[in-house]
Amino acid sequence: MSKDSKNNFVVLKNICKRFGQNTVIGDLDLEIEKGSLVTLLGPSGCGKTTVLRMVAGLEKPTSGQIFIDGEDVTDRSVQHRDICMVFQSYALFPHMSLYGNVAYGLKNLKLPADEISQRVDDALKLVNLEGMGDRFVDQISGGQQQRVALARALVLKPKVLLFDEPLSNLDANLRRSMRETIRDLQKRFNITSLYVTHDQAEAFAVSDKVVVMKDGDIMQQGAPSELYQVPDSLFMANFMGDANIFDGHFDGETITINGVQVKANQRTVESKASGHYQVGVRPEAITLSHEGQPEHICKVNKVVYMGAMYEVSVTWGEHELLLQINSTEFDTDIKDQAYLSVNPVGVFLLDPVVLSSKKVQPELTAEVA
Ligand SMILES: Nc1ncnc2c1ncn2[C@@H]1O[C@H](COP(=O)(O)OP(=O)(O)OP(=O)(O)O)[C@@H](O)[C@H]1O
């Protein structure tokens, strides 16, 4: 591996995977830094699980190499990769106690009984199942079963932990507490982890880096805030939440959309050259008030109460926009007409648009995502 890969504990190089004639992964490179948690996020069928299974050794790449801790493991079996996997379905042994489930891997390693006992007790304690070792799998809840699965993986102290949609079978409240447990333990023990989910909130909550996939390719990767604030394509802008898309112009300091100037945020000023762009505005970056300049006037079409926020549809010039306004900040007297203002923090530029004349190209007409 090259020198700049030395901090990367897991490295996938030029990975291609075909099932018969179907190329599922084209040519994928992926790097996971030691001690970090990287999540593969993407729509169903984009190839996330296939990548995870290749790292696990459950699928063999058609071509390419996989390195773990500097060693080429491409041809090694699951048992010889020093990885553990946490599945959506928990995959526990129903005929064994919780203790038996967690101890299983350690017994296979033929460790002394007192060491096994100590490590299993410690692992059950870590996942808040202290003193429950004698219970059987059918005597505990789904959330507790997933904690056992986590304890069973942690107790082996693997080099790499792999998570395959681990929270999908849990209800919303349990998902939140379980993802906190996973993230807390992963950070506490510095375990290099690869995590698969199709849930953006989950990906953001647990990850150091999120890798967004589509049709077997990586679309963009980065810290969660980077992906949300600086998406680099229309697909990413829409996949990472909602976005109102305009044609606009950036002069180095301000962005002009629909005849209105918005001061560019620092990030944009530092990273983008002047020119024409598609401009994205997040729904939470637009607010409404009773007064303003004529060019800010908009028609209020629909107001929907969502609890924490109001979703508001407005027409601004020729643009249909979606707004998400914090419930505590929304003036419910706002009815048919209002004046909008745009917070620069929620504004980003997509790739420059090459225009052959001053006329705006038809396919670049603003649309609401
Ligand atoms: N063993 C297999 N044989 C043939 N095709 C497969 C096999 N495993 C996966 N595929 C195909 O590979 C593609 C990617 O599947 P994969 O399960 O990796 O996607 P995913 O992003 O994890 O989707 P999901 O979120 O629905 O699990 C799909 O088109 C799937 O049908």
Q: Which residues is 84 bridged to in the sheet?
A: 161
Look at residue 174 in the predicted model and tell me its pLDDT. 87
Dist CA 32 CA 7 (whole Å): 8
Cβ–ligand 1 distance for 53 under 6 Å, the answer no
For the Cβ of 46 lying below 6 angstroms from any atom of ligand 1, the answer is: yes
Per-residue model confidence (pLDDT) at position 171: 87
Query: Nearest residue CA, atom 7 of ligand 1?
Result: 19
Report the residue among 17, 25, 50 best suited for mutation to probe ligand 1: largest number of ligand atoms under 8 A from its CB.
50
Buried-exposed string 80-111: b where 16+ CB fall within 10 A, e elsewhere: ebebbbbbbebebeeeebbbbbbbbbbeeeee
- Residues 177 and 169: their CA atoms lie apart, in Å, by 14
What letter does residue 305 receive in the DSSP assignment? E
Cα 103 versus chain centre, distance: 32
Ligand 1 centroid to Cα of residue 28, in Å, is 16
DSSP-derived 3-state class of residue 161: strand
Crossing angle (nearest 10°) for helices 113-126 and 142-154: 130
Give the three-state DSSP class for 294: helix
Q: Which of 19, 23, 55, 197 has most ligand 1 atoms within 8 Å of CB, for mutation?
A: 19
* Residues 142/148/153/155 CA torsion (nearest 10 deg): 170
Contact 179, 144 (CB under 8 A): no
At 346 the pLDDT is 96
Q: Give the CA distances from residue 274 to residues 224, 250, 257, 264, 349, in Å, rounded to whole numbers and listed in that order.
A: 26, 5, 14, 11, 11
Pick the atom of ligand 1 nearest to 47's CA. 18
pLDDT at 6: 62
Minimal-distance CA residue to ligand 1 atom 22: 49
pLDDT given for residue 50 in this prediction: 97
- How far is the centre of ligand 1, averaged over its atoms, from the C-alpha of 18 (Å)? 11
Amino acid in position 230: V
Q: 175-201 as b/e, with b when 16 or more CB fall inside 10 Å?
A: beebbebbbebbeeeebbbbbbbbebe
Give the pLDDT of residue 170.
85
- Which is the closest atom of ligand 1 to the Cα of 42? 21
CB 165 within 8 A of CB 196: yes
Q: How much is the pLDDT for 248?
A: 95
From the CB of 44, is ligand 1 less than 6 Å away? yes
CA 254/CA 268 separation, integer angstroms: 10
| 261 CB-near residues (< 8 Å, 6+ apart) | 254, 255
What is the model's pTM? 0.88
Cα-to-centroid distance, 220 and ligand 1 (Å):
20
Residue 303 pLDDT: 97
ipTM over 0.95: yes
Alpha-carbon distance 44 to 249, whole Å? Answer: 35
Residue nearest to atom 4 of ligand 1 (CA): 19
158 CB near ligand 1 (under 6 Å): no
Neighbouring CB atoms inside 10 A of 15's CB total: 24
Question: At residue 123, what are phi and psi to the nearest 5 degrees?
Answer: -65, -40
- At residue 1, the pLDDT reads 52
Ligand 1: residue of 25, 49, 218, 239 to mutate (most ligand atoms within 8 A of CB) is: 49
Distances (CA, A) of 279 to 11, 90, 295: 35, 43, 18
* Amino acid residing at 32: I
Instruction: Name residue 246's beta-bridge partners.
Output: 279
Are the CB atoms for 27 and 16 separated by under 8 Å?
A: yes
For 123, 193, 310, the CA distances from 184, given in Å and listed in that order, are 14, 13, 33
The pLDDT value recorded for residue 364 is 38
pLDDT tens per residue, the chain (369 residues)? 544 456 789 999 999 999 999 999 999 999 999 999 999 999 999 999 999 999 999 999 999 999 999 999 999 999 999 999 998 887 899 899 999 999 999 998 899 999 999 999 999 999 999 999 999 999 998 889 999 999 999 999 999 999 999 998 888 888 999 999 999 999 999 999 999 999 999 999 999 999 999 999 999 999 999 999 999 999 999 999 899 999 999 999 999 999 999 999 999 999 999 999 999 999 999 999 999 999 999 999 999 999 999 999 999 999 999 999 999 999 999 999 999 999 999 999 997 555 443 333 333 333 333
Say if ligand 1 is within 6 A of residue 47 CB: yes
Instruction: Measure CA 210 to chain center.
Output: 5
